Amino acid sequence: MAGVSEYEYDLLVIGAGSGGVRAARMAATTGAKVAIVEDRYLGGTCVNVGCVPKKLYSYAAHYHDSFDDAAGYGWQLPGPASFDWSTLRDNKISEIKRLNGIYQRMLEGAGVTLINARASLADAHTVTLHEEQRDSTVTAQKVLLATGGWPWIPEFPGSEYAVDSNQVFDLETSPKRFLVLGGGYIAVEFASIFNGLGSETHLIYRGELFLRGFDQQVREFTCAEMERKGVNLHFNTNIERIEATQDAYNVYLTNGNMLEVDVVLAATGRKANIQGLGLDKVGLELDETGKIPVNDRFETACPSILALGDITPGPELTPVAIAEAMHLVESHFKEGTPEALDYTTIPTAVFCHPNIGTVGLSEEEAREKFTNIRVYSTNFRAMKHTLSGSHERTLMKLVVDDATDVVVGAHMVGDDAGEIIQGIAIAVRAGLRKHDFDRTVGIHPTGAEEFVTMRTLTRT
């Protein structure tokens, strides 16, 4: 696409997270003149305070079980294993700096102008750049809002003592007693992480069971496995107040109990990062969930202003933002009209211990959508644990539309669930039938082969 002379840029992206960077790079390859504005760090939440450090910390936490499991296979460690928090934290910082550099080189290599400033909308084609010395303006034919989400902490007495999911990676010391407030995937993941790192761990959730929206059997199985690993789960309760003592925090719960802990993490959700963005300047209003509505072309109510990722309705997942970026570039900077994105078969993983992997419909969703369904499931002790002595179990589950035999949902709780479900997701996305799964030869001996050997109907 040739540059449009009346504007300085064809596309100006606000926010250098995964979605914003991908959109900027791909648009630049079409010949568009592109700039990206970022005031914090390259790579956004995922690289800096999200998926990447979280997965590194999850790996670290898994070693605790691995050391225990090794004894059954004949390995004798010279002494009790010890964990050094500062080594993990500082190595994580080094890795993120490396990734920040990669993002910068990718942008430079694509010919994208990187502007280090805070940006706000001035009008439909003008963005104000807020820099240390002075404010300035820049114009663009299209402006893409890709500022992501930001954690929030509910207000209650002592809430100022809680840390959020951005801050928890860089604690000065490893807590002996850790408490997380929340019932979403971030809360569940950090409960597993700190439990695995050796902290006495408590999870507080106001509902009856965490991971609302996931398959009920998956939720119940995960709950049992986390309790087996030693996580203290407190449901149907909330934090009433936090009081600071000389070297700890007393957390008073609405059920009358009090817990003394060293760190309180509030993992109570994330909100669209739109503060100071100037949405009012272009007449943009948020929907009932606090997100910016967009159409299939990722256009807001002001057509020259585009938006994608966590500030728009839809799954708050890095690969989703990247897919949206690719679709946006095809829609606005290439010929033709791309096929609309399909959000119904997006796989996801929760890196709690054991991991959860899921794609497609839960059993409950399938029962609402289809007249009749078939459910196949298996619950077993993995071969790895026959000698390790661990009692950890694995759950695998397929949900099938009875009328068409199409597999509409696949779920797993167990080692490497995310790795396994990624492959299964291709089959679910392709609309394969249970007959196709049954005809696929398994790889033996693996846990994953259970997905193609489940023949006995669990329930209808």
Query: Does pLDDT of 214 surpass 60?
Result: yes
Residues 15, 132 within the same domain: yes
Instruction: Tell whether 82 is covered by a domain.
Output: no
Where does a domain end: 240, 268, 296?
Answer: 268
Helical ranges in 284-433 per DSSP H: 318-333, 363-369, 384-388, 417-429
Residues 142, 276 within the same domain: yes
Q: State how far the Cα of 195 lies from the Cα of 161, in Å rounded to an integer.
A: 21
Give me the mean pLDDT over the 322-339 stretch. 94
Kind of pairing, strands 113-116 and 118-123? Answer: unpaired
DSSP H/E element including 58: helix 51-70
Residues 124, 250 within the same domain: no
Could you read off the pLDDT of 220-230 as tens digits, one per residue?
Answer: 999 999 999 99
Residues 142, 283 within the same domain: yes
Where does a domain end: 241, 268, 295?
Answer: 268
DSSP state of 338: P
Place of tokens 């797993």: 412
For residues 14 and 97, the answer to whether their CB atoms sit within 8 Å is no
- Please count the structural domains in the chain: 3
Query: Does pLDDT of 249 surpass 80?
Result: yes
Residues 95, 119 within the same domain: yes
Query: Does pLDDT of 79 surpass 90?
Result: no
Q: Which two tokens stand for residue 19?
A: 């979605």
Residues 264, 298 within the same domain: no
Residues 319, 364 within the same domain: no
Could you read off the pLDDT of 19-49 as tens digits, one per residue?
Answer: 999 999 999 999 999 999 999 999 999 999 9
pLDDT of residue 154: 96
Query: Does pLDDT of 80 surpass 90?
Result: no
Residues 324, 208 within the same domain: no
Residues 183, 316 within the same domain: no
Residues 14, 141 within the same domain: yes
**What's the CATH number where 247 sits?**
3.50.50.60
Instruction: Tell whether 460 is covered by a domain.
Output: no
Query: Does pLDDT of 184 surpass 90?
Result: yes
pTM of the model: 0.95
Instruction: Tell whether 345 is covered by a domain.
Output: no
pLDDT of residue 5: 63
Could you read off the pLDDT of 2-16 as tens digits, one per residue?
Answer: 444 699 999 999 999
Could you read off the pLDDT of 363-375 as tens digits, one per residue?
Answer: 999 999 999 999 9
Residues 290, 384 within the same domain: no
> For residue 167, which phi and psi values (nearest 5 degrees)?
-85, -25
Residues 396, 329 within the same domain: no
Instruction: Tell whether 108 is covered by a domain.
Output: yes
Could you read off the pLDDT of 350-407 as tens digits, one per residue?
Answer: 999 999 999 999 999 999 999 999 999 999 999 999 999 999 999 999 999 999 999 9
Instruction: Tell whether 317 is covered by a domain.
Output: yes
Instruction: Tell whether 123 is covered by a domain.
Output: yes
Residue from 197, 147, 148 nearest 175 by CA: 197
CA distances (Å), 367 to each of 217, 413, 430, in order?
14, 21, 21
Instruction: Tell whether 56 is covered by a domain.
Output: no
How much of the chain, in percent, has pLDDT values that exceed 90?
95
pLDDT of residue 169: 97
Instruction: Tell whether 458 is covered by a domain.
Output: no
The residues assigned a catalytic role are 444
**What's the CATH number where 404 sits?**
3.30.390.30
The range of the structural domain enclosing residue 131 comes to 9-49+88-149+271-333
pLDDT of residue 3: 45
Mean pLDDT of the chain: 96
DSSP H/E element including 49: helix 44-49
Give me the mean pLDDT over the 437-460 stretch. 97
Lowest mean pLDDT among 77-86, 119-128, 185-194, 207-216: 77-86
pLDDT of residue 77: 87
